[in-house]
Structure 1
Amino acid sequence: MATSHFDQFLEQVTIAEFDTDCPLSADCLYGLYISWCLLHGLEAKPDVAFRAAMYRCGVDVHDSRLRMVGPAAADYILSSYPAAA
């Protein structure tokens, strides 16, 4: 079975962090996805399609227990908080 770009996104920019006190929120996870798409030249799917895909991938966007990593994480942080740049 082919790996969806949502699976690739999760593999490349998230890591499971079951003991975290501050997992990625649904909005942050979607923002991270948008940054990842921009870095890979992909067109980001709408939020509703993203949330449905996360559900199919087994990710609860309301309690993701995921932490962001990699270049897309840096891009997302700098885009969200320009004063940090």
Structure 2
Amino acid sequence: MTNPHFEVFLAQSIREDAENEAGLDRDELYGVYTSWCLMNNEEPQAPEDLWAALKEHRIKPADNHLAMKGPAAADYIIASAPDIV
């Protein structure tokens, strides 16, 4: 069964980008997810739960063409590289 928590995260923070050859790796996916949780006052679920939700969408955490979008993407990027600010 699909979890609405992950559905909203995917809709607000992840997009398919066919031109993005590398896609997002597991750390980036979970990082933008935790940023999204913090910004939306949601309790982060375990990484395994996120991977299961992605699998329901036929998304492979290790092999995809995904890109970040929205406020959670900006938050994750700034938190990952604070020296760029």
What TM-score do the two structures reach when normalised by structure 1?
Answer: 0.89
Tell me which moved more, 6-15 or 49-58.
49-58
CA contact (8 A) 1:7 1:57 kept: no
CA contact (8 A) 1:23 1:63 kept: yes
Counterpart in the other structure of 2:52 = 52
Following TM superposition, by how much is the alpha carbon of 1:18 offset from its aligned partner in structure 2, in angstroms? 1.6
Following TM superposition, by how much is the alpha carbon of 1:3 offset from its aligned partner in structure 2, in angstroms? 6.3
Structure 1: stretches of 5+ with no match in the other structure: none
User: What secondary structure sits across from 1:45 in the alignment?
Assistant: coil
Aligned length: 85
Counterpart in the other structure of 1:65 = 65
Aligned pairs (5 A) from 1:1-85: 4-85=4-85
C-alpha distance in structure 2 between counterparts of 1:2 and 1:48, whole Å? 14
Structure 2: stretches of 5+ with no match in the other structure: none
Give the counterpart letter for 1:55 in structure 2.
K
CA contact (8 A) 1:24 1:66 kept: yes
Runs of 4 or more consecutive aligned structure 1 residues displaced over 3 Å after TM superposition: none
Q: Percent identity?
A: 38
